Copies of this chain bind each other. A is one copy, B any other.
């Protein structure tokens, strides 16, 4: 076997990967699912919001007659911790081409009472059933070739802000040097973050991993010159196309930091130069 073939043979696949295992929900009763939130997708002790969205996205794919999230809106209530959780879903409406559902994730307080972590509303459909017609004015982000981009493994030590972050080990991140000023102590002041993105075990992207992808980069606030946690209040993702195999390119832009809040607009492009997901989140920021 050639070295390339050997490498290929060890790549994880959709359905059999870390990400799939860590987002698997187990039916407890109709519409109710158990999950053990993995510590592997945490940032500074808190479970990543995109990973949580993927967990709820998979529960809704089971509860609804359609399998693909077309648009999913999450409001984050309290910080999730690694460990046991329960997802409760509600089918709001089922239609021929779209179905709408709601889901909440709960964990347990010291007395075993359920505490709600986030709630989502989502409309699902069938991505493979969409017509091929595309009239887009969107262009892929200008990111240098991957070998000119930098990941955590390329630095002399952990990137600033990535301390105690375990999610970076699960991701294949290669950041555009033009948006890495923050890691060198000289942020550009522009609210931009761009990166190549894959999963570290080689699993290709699918609609659920796109829900993770939109929230997987360092916060744009770092490049604006702010440090500290930027907790998400609300995150809405539109999945527009099933991604082709290969690495994704993710571009995140913040235009309006005002009154202690900012928006993060994300675009995710696949290897076939298609805009496969768009998202926007509202996040709080500590002004320094």
Task: Spell out A's residues near B (CB within 8 Å).
Answer: 70-71, 73, 75, 77-78, 92-93, 98, 100, 102, 116, 119-123, 127, 130-138, 190-191, 224, 233-234, 236, 238, 240-241, 254-261, 263, 274-275, 278, 280, 282, 287
A-B contact pairs, 6 of them (CB 8 A): A71-B282, A130-B261, A136-B255, A136-B258, A234-B238, A258-B274
Contacts of A123 in B (CB 8 A): 75, 233-234, 282
Q: Is the CB of B261 within 8 A of A70?
A: yes
Q: Is the CB of A137 within 8 A of B191?
A: yes
Contacts of A134 in B (CB 8 A): 257-259
The CA-CA distance from A236 to B280 in the complex, in Å, is: 9
Closest B residue to A97 using CB positions: B284
Closest B residue to A90 using CB positions: B119
Q: Is the CB of A131 within 8 A of B287?
A: yes
Q: Is the CB of B78 within 8 A of A287?
A: no
Q: Is the CB of B121 within 8 A of A260?
A: no
Contacts of A240 in B (CB 8 A): 256, 258-259, 261
Given A236-B236, A258-B240, answer yes or no on A78-B98 (Cβ-Cβ < 8 Å). Answer: no
Given A119-B92, A255-B137, answer yes or no on A278-B280 (Cβ-Cβ < 8 Å). Answer: yes
The smallest beta-carbon distance between A225 and chain B, in angstroms, is: 9
